[in-house]
Structure 1
Amino acid sequence: MRTRISELLNIEYPIIQGGMAWVAEHHLAAAVSNAGGLGIIAAGNAPAEVVREEIRKARELTDKPFGVNIMLLSPFAPEVAKVVVEEKVPVVTTGAGNPESYIPMWKEAGIKIIPVVASVALAKRMEKYGADAVVAEGCEAGGHIGELTTMALIPQIVDAVTIPVIAAGGIGDGRGLAAVFLLGAEGGQVGTRFVVSHESIVHENYKKRVITSRDIDSAVTGRSTGHPVRSIRNQMTRNYAKLEQEGKSFEELELLTLGSLRKAVMEGDVVNGSVMAGQIAGLVSKEQSCKEIIEEIVDEMKHLIQNFHF
């Protein structure tokens, strides 16, 4: 499967693992890379030296390319931006902000820069400032989201930029990957399905909650604050929605979610924790290895395209 994305990133399959905070650490990133995709370590709010250690641990598990996702709202983002240069990380994806100030430093180091975008305007701006590709993420995705759906967003961004586009949001099998290829994308980012992989370190309660989810089981909270987040419905999302309806302040809402993702991922609290997952969770029915997930997606996509008849 050769696309501009697989060639740009020197990977076998144009499948990128989502940069999910607390979930995407060195075990998962290395497993995805070893399976032929591009594994991603999520820096999240971690200090720079923690990220450095994750990079070095991943290198002990794989000799394949992998990347680091930098959450630009993190207070440690400036230091992490330098660590990826010092550690010679081949690929950086970014989210929750504008990476323009770091792009010259990364380009000088030969790093491939792939910002996550949720609008045509931001995609065009990222191309102007030297991004090598963009991840166009629809609101079906888990975690922090924009407003446009994948179906609407991808072709508009593909038409607006000349750099390759990776689609994200609602991709969980070969049908999803085939669909975004037909929309003009040259790669797909998968998040929720890798959450329940064997190599994922998330608590078994979290995995079971994703696997048993139905199509209608996710909810978006935080629209009133300008930071919408998609998670699986539970007591925390209900409490949050109630406070939003009551017009509570941003600070009060943030207090409710403080540490909630870690609580779900590490401690298995799927009642009061934040169980971030995309709408595609209703399609995820079992735990598999990263290799099995990627091969299943690719085989299904190839079969569909090769046997498609008008």
Structure 2
Amino acid sequence: MQSHLCKLLNIQYPIFQGAMAWVADADLASAVSNAGGLGIVGTGHDTPEIVAEKIADIKAKTTKPFGVNIMLLNPHVQEVVDVVCQSGVKVVTTGAGSPGKYMDKFKAAGIIVIPVVASVALARRMENDGADAIIVEGMEAGGHIGKSTTMALLPQVVDAVSVPVIAAGGIGDGRGMAAAYMLGASGIQVGTRFVVAKESNAHANFKQAILKAKDIDTVITGQLTGHPVRVLRNKLTREYLQAEKEETSKESPDFERLENMARGALRRAVVEGDKIRGSMMAGQIAGLISKEQTCHDIIQDYMRECSETIQKQIEYWSK
């Protein structure tokens, strides 16, 4: 199943690991890259010094291709871009905006740029700005999300751009991967399933919450503030949703109240293992995940199940 995307990135399998804050460190990303996928180091709001340390860390753990995710709302984004361009990184994914103003610098450094988008209009803009590929993320995903579903948005973006498109959000196994291929994707990005990988440093409590999750165990918070986030249900989400309801009824909502409730919640979940007041970001496919595996086994499962699913459909329709 070698694709143009695999040749572009020099990877064995068309599977990206999502740049999940506090989760996508060098240990996880290098394990994914060593298993043949594209591991991605998340940088969030890191300072340029921390980003340089993270890049050095993953370089010490893999000789395979890897990517670095740059959050464009990072107050240090200009300095982070400079560090990445000077470090020899070959692939950059971006979130929270357009990397257009940095595209010339990326290209001069020989970097492949792959933005994450949640709409057709933004996908077109990214291609016009010089993106080499596009990650389409639907609202089934964990963490910050848009308004469209992956399966509805994906074929529309595929029709709108000429660069490879990577599907993200709601792809929990090889069957979902096969569906993404049928809709025109060149690859997939996986988040939640890699959170519970054996090489993931996410707290055991967070992993267990995902492994025990059912199909209806995620909710969306932050819709009032305009920054919706999909997370697993817990005491924090119940209190937050109640607060959102109360603030919605006011003429002047107290956004600071909501921000204070969410501040530091992701770290509490991922690092401290707080299942009560932590923000356990996870996708709707959490109910599909029932075991902790190595990154190698996860990728192999995706590829095997995808191939088997496609083959079964070919046999069915050829009867």
User: TM-score under structure 2 normalisation?
Assistant: 0.96
Q: Whole-Å Cα distance in 2 between the matches of residues 167 and 37 of structure 1?
A: 14
Q: What do residues 190-231 of structure 1 show as CA deviations (whole Å, max 9, x unaligned)?
A: 000000000000000000000000000000001111110000
SS at match of 2:37: coil
Aligned to 1:234: 234
Aligned to 1:302: 307
Aligned to 2:83: 83
Aligned to 1:23: 23
Aligned to 2:250: none
Q: What do residues 156-194 of structure 1 show as CA deviations (whole Å, max 9, x unaligned)?
A: 000000001000000111001000000000000000000
Q: What do residues 211-253 of structure 1 show as CA deviations (whole Å, max 9, x unaligned)?
A: 0000000000011111100000111111111111111422221
Q: Whole-Å Cα distance in 2 between the matches of residues 236 and 87 of structure 1?
A: 40
Aligned to 1:143: 143
Q: Cα offset for 1:306?
A: 2.1
1:149-160 to structure 2, matched below 5 A, reads 149-160=149-160
1:1-310 to structure 2, matched below 5 A, reads 1-247=1-247, 248-308=253-313, 309-310=316-317
Q: Cα offset for 1:46?
A: 1.3
Q: Cα offset for 1:305?
A: 1.3
SS at match of 1:272: coil
Q: Whole-Å Cα distance in 2 between the matches of residues 160 and 261 of structure 1?
A: 35
Letter in 2 for 1:298: M
Q: Cα offset for 1:51?
A: 1.2
Runs of 4+ in 1 over 6 A off after TM superposition: none
Point out the structure with max Rg over C-alpha: 2
Identity across the alignment (%): 58
SS at match of 2:60: helix
Deviates most, 1-10 or 291-300: 1-10
Q: Cα offset for 1:47?
A: 1.1
Deviates most, 275-284 or 77-86: 77-86
Q: Whole-Å Cα distance in 1 between the matches of residues 87 and 239 of structure 2?
A: 42
Q: Whole-Å Cα distance in 1 between the matches of residues 103 and 275 of structure 2?
A: 38
Letter in 2 for 1:59: K
Q: What do residues 263-285 of structure 1 show as CA deviations (whole Å, max 9, x unaligned)?
A: 11000001101000000001000
Q: Cα offset for 1:7?
A: 1.2
Gaps of at least 5 residues in structure 1 are none
Q: Whole-Å Cα distance in 1 between the matches of residues 72 and 21 of structure 2?
A: 13
Letter in 2 for 1:53: E
SS at match of 2:271: helix
Letter in 1 for 2:274: D
Q: Whole-Å Cα distance in 2 between the matches of residues 36 and 130 of structure 1?
A: 26
Letter in 2 for 1:7: K
Letter in 1 for 2:286: A
Letter in 1 for 2:87: E
Q: Whole-Å Cα distance in 1 between the matches of residues 79 and 241 of structure 2?
A: 35
Q: Whole-Å Cα distance in 1 between the matches of residues 84 and 132 of structure 2?
A: 16
Letter in 2 for 1:297: Y
Q: Whole-Å Cα distance in 1 between the matches of residues 198 and 107 of structure 2?
A: 35
